[in-house]
């Protein structure tokens, strides 16, 4: 889990969250994991606040999602969509109280229960599901101008990263009506890796490079730090944030242990700090 400012921005407007919990008792315990990444927009503190408001709402739902009695897709979808809806309400409220016209955030959030991956996504941050050989098995679809060009046959996907309007998003959480998120449900296989990242990370790096980097046997945190450094060296014009999970089901107990782990990337004041509590 890494979040850095990059070489140009004065502030880190991204916020990230990971929560792991062990369910049940005895040898049959299973581990659930919930992660979320938000890329704030609006400049100055407004982007920071927008992303943090979304992460705070995601954090509120995390335990309930992980402790779901069964991976019921409809129930999980309803709860994960509520994260987006409540985040939108919080930003709307903040904008009204502080007379702010321009602020918003992307959000990509992933819930892992056993061998099931549930994802909610809005904006151009992404969640990837990557096979052990580095092949991109699944990834979320961007809500962006260039993605619409691709969908309508005016641009090929390999040209997205070079287009002058690649940063123009068509859907974000900004307190307005009609910004709907997408929901995904994918199966995880042995050796798969899950990546959550902002556009400041994936734009400088091809999907081939991303997949190859995540197919190594290195610890996820070491991979994340190395890849963030690479993205920053290549570009660095935006904040760079990513979360890497390698949720091999048979390695859950070894990887996560028995305690509750909550990690935050927060901002100033009471929301400050990089916390890990067990």
> Do the domain assignments include residue 277?
no
**Looking at the domain assignment, is residue 68 inside a domain?**
yes
Please give the average per-residue pLDDT across 151-177, as a whole number: 91
d(CA 142, CA 127): 10
| pLDDT at 68 (0 to 100) | 77
- Residue 77 forms part of a structural domain: yes
| pLDDT for res 157 | 87
Average pLDDT over residues 152-159: 91
pLDDT tens, residue by residue, 49-102 = 999 999 999 999 999 999 876 678 999 999 999 999 999 999 999 999 999 988
Binned at pLDDT 50, 70 and 90, residue 43 comes out as confident
Beta strands in 49-155 (DSSP E): 104-105, 107-113, 116-122, 126-130, 136-139
Percent of the chain clearing pLDDT 90 (strictly above): 69
Residue at 185 is within a domain: yes
Work out how many domains the chain is built from and give that number.
1
* 115 located within any domain: yes
Per the model's pLDDT, the better-predicted residue between 21 and 193 turns out to be 193
- 247-262 pLDDT, tens digit per residue, is 864 434 333 333 333 4
| Of 11-15, 43-47, 67-71, minimum mean pLDDT range | 67-71
Asked if residue 278 belongs to a domain, the reply is: no
- pLDDT confidence of residue 111: 96
Query: CATH no. for residue 231?
Result: 3.60.40.10
Quote the pLDDT of residue 116.
93
Look at residues 169, 193, 166, 58 and name the one whose alpha carbon lies nearest to residue 112. 193
Position 134 in a domain = yes
The answer to whether position 129 is within a domain reads yes
CA dihedral sign, ordered 137, 141, 144, 148? positive
pTM: 0.87
Residue 225's pLDDT band (cuts 50, 70, 90): very high
Mean pLDDT of the chain: 86
Task: Mention every residue, 6+ apart, whose C-beta is less than 8 A from residue 100.
Answer: 42, 46, 94
278 pLDDT band, cuts 50/70/90, is: very low
Q: Which domain holds residue 99?
A: 2-272
């Amino acid at each position: 889990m890494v979040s850095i400012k990059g070489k140009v921005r004065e502030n880190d407007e991204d916020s990230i969250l990971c929560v792991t919990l062990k369910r049940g008792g005895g040898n049959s315990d299973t581990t659930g994991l919930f992660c979320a990444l938000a890329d704030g927009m609006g400049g100055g503190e407004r982007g920071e606040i927008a992303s943090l408001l979304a992460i705070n709402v995601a954090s509120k739902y995390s335990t309930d999602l992980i402790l779901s009695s069964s991976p019921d897709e409809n129930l999980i979808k309803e709860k994960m969509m509520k994260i987006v809806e409540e985040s939108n309400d919080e930003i709307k409220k903040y904008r009204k109280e502080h007379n702010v016209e321009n602020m918003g955030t992307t959000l990509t959030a992933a819930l892992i229960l056993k061998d099931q991956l549930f994802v909610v996504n809005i904006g151009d941050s992404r969640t990837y599901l990557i096979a052990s050989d580095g092949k991109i098995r699944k990834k979320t679809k961007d809500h962006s101008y260039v993605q619409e060009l691709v969908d309508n046959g005016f641009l090929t996907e390999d040209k997205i990263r070079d287009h002058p309007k690649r940063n123009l998003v068509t859907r974000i959480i900004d307190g307005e009506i009609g910004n709907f998120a997408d929901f995904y449900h994918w199966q995880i296989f042995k050796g798969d890796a899950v990546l959550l990242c902002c556009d400041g990370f994936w734009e400088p790096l091809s999907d081939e490079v991303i997949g190859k980097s995540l197919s190594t046997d290195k610890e996820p945190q070491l991979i994340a730090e190395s890849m963030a450094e690479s993205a920053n060296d290549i570009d660095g014009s935006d904040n760079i944030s990513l979360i890497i999970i390698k949720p091999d089901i048979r390695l859950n107990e070894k990887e996560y242990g028995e305690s509750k782990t909550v990690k935050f990337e927060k901002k100033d004041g009471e929301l400050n700090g990089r916390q890990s509590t067990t």
